[in-house]
Homo-oligomer: A and B are copies of this chain.
């Protein structure tokens, strides 16, 4: 099916007191929009990957909480805050690894706590959530500007999963850097891994890059080593779901092995993520890796590809240690090793 994504199109947005999202489980075969007026529906949408990608989840959580405020029958600020805390808990528990979700929810709660009356709080949280969506795009474009300086004419860049427009409100983190590189006049090609089990690479990255006229080739996840060993890859860029102050990066399952192979083949490995993806408090043993259901691995698009009742190990994320990372691209600049120091500096520059 042919379709067009207009440049004004957003992965998630607030429209007439409702949250409107692209249903990403239907891509690339159909472009379907879904509209929610109940925060529980937004929680389900996050859980079932209708919307995914750390920055998009952060904004979706904020919009979900704004819906919860609208839904609330509370007549006092205190009662409204109780309702919001309950909704926050349900929204938070949908995906435990991406830190942006906690960040987005907390920012809305802070806005709510600062309000005075119920109606003032309702208006304020809606405005704050809409502001976060707008900021997400600005941040991605700033990230793109910083990152594009690291990429050269005729680079072929491998990316894993989808850290694109569809993982954010628009423009993308890793793919935002690729877009900015192209916009700066450099020729750039992309190799996208299909990213089993949920296939965000083939369904989403290949889809949005092809739509934008960026040269993209799809490979199975098994062909990463082959592509690097045969000189097909000059750089790697991925997004992140959580980055620790030490530079440990949590991202889509398979990122760690792409980084390990990049190191082995002397290929620079970059991560692009907004400062909202950083978790400055946790250490690796604190981070919960989400384990997802077996059916994602035992079948594809509703077709069974494995025997009944087989054991499955299906972690959604893995951890890439700082020693495999060449640089972390943020809206405040690029952090380079030693990361503990350079990440601290980026945050200080934002104060």
Task: For the complex formed, measure the closest distance between the CB of A213 and the CB atoms of chain B, giving whole angstroms.
Answer: 13
Interface stretch among A50-58, A113-121, A272-280, A302-310? Answer: A302-310
Query: A236-272: which have CB < 8 Å to B?
Result: 252-254, 256-257, 260-261, 264
Task: For the complex formed, measure the closest distance between the CB of A49 and the CB atoms of chain B, giving whole angstroms.
Answer: 14
What are the 7 tightest A-B residue pairs by CB atom distance, in nearest-first order? A222-B254, A225-B257, A301-B303, A300-B300, A202-B306, A217-B311, A196-B220
Q: In the complex, which of the residues B28, B310, B314 contacts A216, with contact meaning CB atoms closer than 8 Å?
A: B310
**A305 to B207 CA separation, bound complex (whole angstroms):** 10
**A63 to B225 CA separation, bound complex (whole angstroms):** 35
Known interface pairs A218-B313, A260-B260; 7 further A-B residue pairs with C-beta atoms within 8 A, sorted by A's residue number: A195-B222, A196-B222, A218-B310, A223-B318, A226-B257, A300-B305, A301-B301
Residue-wise interface mask of A (169-208) relative to B, using a CB-CB cutoff of 8 A (1 in contact, 0 not): 0000000000000000000000101111101001100110
Query: A107-144: which have CB < 8 Å to B?
Result: none
Task: For the complex formed, measure the closest distance between the CB of A259 and the CB atoms of chain B, giving whole angstroms.
Answer: 8
Task: For the complex formed, measure the closest distance between the CB of A327 and the CB atoms of chain B, giving whole angstroms.
Answer: 21
- For A260, the chain B residues whose CB sits under 8 A away are 225, 260-261, 264
Closest to A253 in B: B222
Closest to A3 in B: B307
A contact face: mostly helix, strand, loop, or mixed? mixed
Name A residues whose Cβ lies closer than 8 Å to a Cβ of B: 2, 28-29, 191, 193-197, 199, 202-203, 206-207, 210, 215-227, 229, 232, 252-254, 256-257, 260-261, 264, 297-298, 300-308, 310-315, 318-319
- For A257, the chain B residues whose CB sits under 8 A away are 222, 224-226, 257, 261
**A-B CB contact pairs (8 Å), 23 listed:** A2-B308, A191-B313, A199-B305, A202-B297, A202-B305, A207-B306, A215-B311, A216-B310, A219-B297, A219-B313, A220-B221, A220-B314, A221-B221, A221-B222, A222-B252, A222-B254, A222-B257, A223-B254, A226-B257, A232-B313, A257-B257, A260-B260, A301-B303
Task: For the complex formed, measure the closest distance between the CB of A72 and the CB atoms of chain B, giving whole angstroms.
Answer: 41
Q: In the complex, which of the residues B193, B226, B256 contacts A318, with contact meaning CB atoms closer than 8 Å?
A: B226
- For A306, the chain B residues whose CB sits under 8 A away are 28, 194, 199, 202-203, 206-207, 218
Most chain B CB within 10 A, of A301, A306, A314, A318, is at A306
Q: In the complex, which of the residues B216, B224, B226, B301 contacts A305, with contact meaning CB atoms closer than 8 Å?
A: B301
Contact assessment for A229 and B203 in the assembled complex, using a CB-CB cutoff below 8 Å: no
- For A218, the chain B residues whose CB sits under 8 A away are 297-298, 306, 310-313
Task: For the complex formed, measure the closest distance between the CB of A151 and the CB atoms of chain B, giving whole angstroms.
Answer: 20
**A207 to B307 CA separation, bound complex (whole angstroms):** 6
